Structure 1
Amino acid sequence: MRLVFAGTPEVALPSLRALIASERHEVAAVVTRPDAPAGRGRHLVRSPVGALADEHGIEVLTPAKAGAPEFLDRLREIGPDCCPVVAYGALLPQRTLDVPSHGWVNLHFSLLPAWRGAAPVQAAVRAGDEITGASTFRIVKELDAGPVFGTLTVEVGEHETSGELLDRLAVAGADLLVATLDGIEDGTLEAREQPAAEGVSYAGKITVDDAHLDFAAPARAVDRLARAVTPEPGAWAVFRGERLKLGPVRLSDVDGLAPGELRVERKRVLVGTSTAAVQLGEVQAQGKKRMAATDWARGTRIEAGERLA
């Protein structure tokens, strides 16, 4: 099939690479978010998807809005049979959805209808899901509610961060997306409607405020949230009036610490929760490099009774 691929960040690259390598499909163009300022010089930088397309000599379309008339005119000229989508990051109006004969097919990193929305992997980790996965579905006007072509499942690792899990799903999902497009082209794959209400959950975008660890919560909730927001936007707490960035924590069997109370031992730094204490991993104080919690504690000279808030 003749394809126009839509995506923006690095998580979309495994799928784009797989489609470029496919002998059955032609990636005629990619659609990605407009070049954005980055770095100290704030120079305009191509998105990861756009940069990969440039490397392969593939036309790159960067509409400010996916319903812009000039973009739609060019899309119709290209004449895609189908438009696969992975983390594009912009809304697609109905007039845009109507262009390809086989529609727009999205690779979404959850087992739909669970965790519709912008941050499905983070939501699965935070909720403590033991199983998650990816789904391919036809995009419709309602958020992530279109009929599903196929799914894959993976187990969530006990200590896995959302970043690590997303990397795994991006690679496995690329194969699922290619297989989905193969089936659409062959006419052997039928999309199934999602349940109208049963099993539907939503995963909104996680903000920096959402990543503030609450040590009055149970240890498992602290652990899950820290892993869910790693690497972005990154967990944090307040120490001595300043924000302290925190990496993932580990559970312990140590009791007797008040929520947020710090205990420095020779080989570990513990923080109390509403249940057992958790062990800090890496930390980063303002203006400092990321370091092991024990190194931070020795340099900071933590006093008895001090807390993270």
Structure 2
Amino acid sequence: MRRLILLLFALFALTGPAWAQVRSVEVRAPRPFGYFVGDLVRVQVDIKVDPGFSVQAASLPQPGSVTYWLELRSITVDETRQADTARIRLNLVYQSFYAALDARALEIPGFALTVASNGQSGITTAKAQVPAWSINVSPLREVQPPPREDPLEYMRPDGRAPLLDPEPQLKWAALFAGLALLALILLARDRAWGPFGKRRGRAFAAVQRSLRGLGRRPDQDIAYREALIALHRGLDETDGRRVLADDLPAFLARHPAYRVEENGLACFFHASRLTFFGRETAAARSQWSLAEVEATAGKLAAAERMAGG
């Protein structure tokens, strides 16, 4: 009796993998016909197995040549778990290179997959056989068209394109061009470009333009003094009088839009005093550089625009 029990146990152990249930294999394609050379053939394979089983990646078909006329382009796997079953969905994309001379059916080879479950007693495996299926391919053109007396009858006339009236598009183009020109004029006025550069109330915009290129001068001391003089002229033109260091509080009281640059203007007057009265241009440049002069002029020009000048 004991020997019989051991024999049955060994039999169950040997046949355990065969008990793994592959419940169904279903192959679906969008259509079985109407394929030409170069077309992609998309196929969906649904495999239902017992819960706990999943496909082994090593058993999946690899992209590449399948037959002389068929190539597997890609394959993706989607596994869904449910209470009493598991579904393995394969999405395969083939490409046909069969140049058909007539309409005929071609068979896409099937393949086998391995599904496995890792249980308490070890790994249980089973085979899922995906069957072959067929597609119908067609030629791109007739092999032998019917005879014609006039060879020109084989040629089809060109399709007639409708005549389009360009006038509405031209009107819209002219309208948008006018709006763009108006926007450019308004921007030039705001930025004091071109003919608007010398209009009254844009002194600091002119100063900002005059400072461009001073940093590339070979003699930086001369360039620095010219920058300070230009900023002096901008202050004088804005206030309508000479503005000295002691006049700064009164200037800011008369022009509150520039109060945000009070510190910069104080540094400017200090650098001006060192340069023109102390003859210490190098010291002034080390304390307040030409780049800071340009930055202050730019901020004053921006405040000038905000003030509506």
Tell me the TM-score normalised to structure 2 length. 0.20
Work out which of the two has the higher radius of gyration on C-alpha atoms and give 1 or 2.
2
Please identify which structure carries the higher helix content: 2
